[in-house]
Amino acid sequence: MKKFYKNERGVLVIEFMFMLPALLLCFLGMFVFFDAFHKWMKFTTASYTISDLLSRQTIVDDDFILSLDGVFDTISGSRDRENSWLRVTSVKKSGGNLTILWSIETSDFPQTTPVAVDIEDLIPNSTIDEHMLLVQSYSPYSPGFSWVGLNGITLRENIAISSRFSSKLVNSDHLEFDESTDDGIDDPLAL
């Protein structure tokens, strides 16, 4: 019995059997968190690419903005393309108030955030009569293994940007108000 007690052959195999499940759990956990970080980085890159693309335009129409959804999905590598969406909103500050001139969503998916809710918090301080674009992007993410502690989340990005080559981005499908001619307003929502 003393000889059997001092025998250490096979100890490494037994230790490995105890450690293997813990190692596998660690590797799967690292994979899930790396995948979530990678998805978030691609999502953020796609959001900023779309906002940069819009800032370089002077005139767009609804079809152009709707086509950006495909560009966004391609860059972000979205797995759930039906539920990811963009919203582009043109905002003007006049008299201390923000006015929404037009807003286009790229999906009919029911949004959880209405256009006019807390938009003042999303727009940085701007000068009077300054036009800004607010690009909002949403995409669901569900991890491959939810038991590691990371549940499904909705990735959201809100980017406020000014037009680079003109004072505002004109949407040819939504005429904006011109005080000198008194024509063209397309029901902006005053906040």
In angstroms, the CA 53 to CA 89 distance is: 14
- The band of 179, judged by pLDDT with boundaries at 50, 70 and 90, is very low
Domain ranges of the chain: 10-190
State residue 113's pLDDT score: 52
State residue 54's pLDDT score: 92
In angstroms, the CA 39 to CA 141 distance is: 8
In angstroms, the CA 39 to CA 76 distance is: 7
Highest mean pLDDT among 26-40, 76-90, 107-121: 26-40
Is 41 a residue whose pLDDT tops 90? yes
Residue 160's SS3 state is: strand
62-76 and 11-55 are packed helices; what angle lies between their axes, rounded to 10 degrees? 160
In tens, the pLDDT along 137-171 reads 988 888 877 776 778 888 889 998 888 888 888 88
